[in-house]
Amino acid sequence: MALSEIDRNLLQRCLERKPRAWEDFVDRFMGLIVHVINHTAQSRSVRLRPEDREDLCAEVFLTIVKNDLALLRRFRGESSLATYLTVVARRVVVRAMLDRKTAARLGNGDSQEAVQSVADTHGSVEDRIESQEEVERLLAGLTDQEADVVRLYHLEGKSYQEISTGVGVPMNSIGPILSRARAKMRGAGVGQPAG
């Protein structure tokens, strides 16, 4: 779905810092962001308190305004603005949930799982991918299995165990598959040297 004229105008007003533009943006997309937060939490079996939901919502909007609206400036309009914001919001929410899960595990002394969780999120290529169009372009250069694993891990925030069950490969194969896929994606133009 292409960028609608309403969203194109709203985006332009935000980027030009017109009066009430940001308030209109928040009003238009607040429901979508809350939906993404609820759906992501439900798919990961995470119970959210109202204050957790508010914190995550604020984190998503802060990410959008960070660096002078850099995420909005990078949007190329090849999809709807709602689709783009869904990808951005999901990424922020999954990262926040993983960070909180790791902190909780460290606090409970469950060091083995905490180390695995930190290792799972360390060096994540998703931090350098800012749009769904870029993700799809990069995934096209991977094998079907690699693309499935990357989608499940980086876009859906699944654990190694969940991915293993979902794609039918041993859990100890997930890390090497992700490493191989990341190397291919870096080589395909993420702009970072392989390594």
CATH class of 119-189: mainly alpha
Answer CATH for 1-110 from 3.40.1160.10, 1.20.1250.20, 1.10.1740.10, 3.60.40.10: 1.10.1740.10
The CB density around residue 97, as the number of other CB atoms within 10 Å, is: 19
Q: Quick one: pLDDT at residue 78?
A: 81
| Residue-range domain boundaries for the chain | 1-110, 119-189
Structure-block tokens of residue 40: 């992501």
> Which of 19-28, 40-49, 85-94, 134-143 shows the lowest per-residue confidence on average (mean pLDDT)?
134-143
Residue of 58, 46, 164, 166 whose CA lies nearest to 116 = 164
Q: Please name the residue that has the structure tokens 């499935």.
A: 148
What are the pLDDT digits (tens) for 5-14?
Answer: 999 999 999 9
Give the pLDDT band of residue 191 (cuts 50, 70, 90): very low
| Pairwise CA distance, residues 173 & 160, whole Å | 9
Give the pLDDT band of residue 104 (cuts 50, 70, 90): low
